[in-house]
Amino acid sequence: MSVQTGIVMLNLGGPATLDEVGPFLVRLFADREIIQLPLQAWLGPFIARRRTAAVQENYRLIGGGSPILRWTTIQGEGMIRWLDRLSPATAPHRFYVAFRYAPPFSEDALRQMQADGVKRAVAFTQYPQFSCATTGSSLNELWRAARRLGLGNAFSWSMIDRWPTHPGFIEAMTRSVQIGLEQFPAAERHNVLLLFSAHSLPLKIIDRGDPYPQEIGASVQAVMVQLGFAYEYLLAYQSAVGPVRWLGPQTEQVIKQLGAQGRRNVLVVPLAFTSDHIETLAEIDHEYGELAHRAGITNFKRAPALNDDENFQRALADLVAEHLASGLNHSRQYPLRCPGCTSDQCRNLLNPVASPESVALAHDRQLRM
């Protein structure tokens, strides 16, 4: 039986083995949609080579490679089980993984979709909060790959380009926080500070008008509403690399400052990561854990990633089912380019499934609801 609807799960990915770390970093630092460096053709590979040994050591610390493909596969399988029941009219469904800097790449996903007979396709970002550097970059590469393979008209596309406040996602994140709080002694829980941590971005991207900070803030606010604002909370950003200025405050600096202020109970909530990978397992658990200990934070814990959470898999299925039923090609916000955008690739959609007229009707239905 051929696949009726293909769901392409987009992410930057991670090296599965230590040998893949070097090529992964070279691809990352060569990508001007993520990091813009002076003399990038020379400086990008130079930084990648300089960082390879240290990054390999971090991956060795967490088992020798990134688990992101394994978790994405588990999440995709659970999503499809739910989706076939939620949207039988568009079944059978199949998911495909398309990473930016490590296998499987966009070409791998597209070739398999062609072999499976897919005609209707949904590009589904696995970043809840939109950024040109993450979701935008992944979408641009997907369209480029389709053209490189001669598959520009092979599939009718729509996309799920952001979901920062989707009820299922917020419910899953709230439960993650509650599980994280259970790691603290009952008598101390009222005194826990929630430190939401999201991946940082170069300020040059933010200054162009990228919506990422406001969407991260919307997710934080939605989780805190579910928690009844029962805890103090902060938002910080992690994983800044390279000789450029990044969005802050930086998580490591906030941890030092909280220790200096005498805070002793801190729960880190990795808000922009829907599965464990190096930023949670090595950076937060080990690097920041040691930093917190030195800073005097005696109870430093992390809320668990969503990984194999079945409720999160149902949330992913709900997102796709709602999207397929909407008749829309993308979110209302997607076509709005950043005020300072200079790229001619941004906000494209290859071979859209819905005509402008049907999209206008779908928007009218939404407004009347």
Active-site residue set: 166, 318
CB 255 within 8 A of CB 291: yes
**3-state SS string for 105-127:** EHHHHHHHHHHCCCCEEEEEECC
CA dihedral 27, 30, 36, 42 (to 10 degrees): 140
Query: And the tokens for 79?
Result: 């999503």
Helix ranges (H only) for 40-161 are: 40-61, 68-86, 106-115, 137-148
Closest CA to 131 of 364, 338, 342: 338
The number of residues making up the chain comes to: 369
Which residue intervals of 208-331 are DSSP H helices? 212-226, 251-260, 278, 289-295, 310-326
Judged by DSSP in three states, 250 sits in strand
Look up tokens 């930084």; give the residue.
47
What are the helix (H) ranges across 166-211? 167-181, 203-207
